[in-house]
């Protein structure tokens, strides 16, 4: 996967809450083109002052963006956003990437990955470690699961949102995929 860059990629962000808002804002301030969606449209509209645009629906957002990020409060919210005829997967461009940063059960992340695969969309499960003030300062730590090549490509947009670390960021392949390298062993 090619690195995600402000020049070549259009980001969509679903979930402009306590963590989503500062992450989306930092991406905009780093020069990314970003379209936001939140059930509470006022939250998404707050990003206009930083150069963001607002989608009226998840389907509109996913049809306009090649990278969709989500940061939502529950498993149910994630599945509601991505499935169905009005969901993100039904309207996503083939070959696009989903980066889900919600705290959900592993089974939900695996279901999301299967749904994406059926539509030709790669999915990364990226768990956030940090607080809202850490997100505002770009000091989050992320743990990712999914395709390693996609994870490496997504890291290129990471400097604006999370700290660089001399330690590797841990990723784990979803068990259903046979074409991925094994997860790295943790140091003792």
Q: Where are the domains of the chain?
A: 10-172
Among 109, 128, 126, 127, residue whose Cα is nearest residue 177: 109
Q: So what's the pLDDT on residue 91?
A: 93
| Entry pTM | 0.81
The pLDDT of residue 51 = 97
Read off the tokens for 76: 């149910």
Between 119 and 147, the higher pLDDT residue: 119
Continuous H helices in 9-140: 20-29, 41-45, 58-64, 75-82, 88-91, 106-118, 132-137
Q: Which residue's entry shows tokens 């990314």?
A: 32
Rounded-to-integer distance, Cα 108 and Cα 18, Å: 22
In which element (H, E) is residue 53 found? strand 53-54
**Least confident piece of the model among 23-27, 29-33, 53-57, 168-172:** 168-172
Task: State the fold for domain 10-172.
Answer: Rossmann fold (3.40.50)
């Amino acid at each position: 996967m090619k690195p995600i860059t402000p020049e070549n990629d259009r980001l969509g962000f679903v979930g402009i809450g306590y963590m989503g808002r500062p992450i989306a804002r930092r991406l905009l301030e780093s020069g990314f083109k970003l379209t936001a969606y939140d059930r509470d449209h006022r939250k998404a509209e707050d990003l206009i002052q930083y150069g963001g645009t607002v989608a009226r629906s998840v389907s509109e957002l996913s049809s306009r963006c090649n990278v969709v990020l989500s940061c939502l409060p529950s498993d149910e919210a994630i599945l509601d956003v991505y499935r169905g005829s009005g969901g993100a997967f039904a309207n996503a461009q083939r070959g696009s990437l989903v980066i889900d940063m919600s705290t959900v059960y592993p089974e939900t992340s695996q279901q999301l990955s299967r749904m994406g695969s059926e539509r030709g969309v790669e999915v990364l499960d990226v768990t956030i470690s940090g607080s809202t003030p850490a997100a505002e300062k770009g000091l989050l730590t992320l743990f990712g699961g999914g395709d390693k090549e996609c994870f490496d490509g997504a890291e290129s947009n990471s400097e604006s949102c999370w700290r660089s670390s001399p330690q590797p960021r841990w990723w784990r392949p979803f068990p259903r995929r046979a074409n991925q390298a094994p997860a790295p062993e943790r140091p003792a």
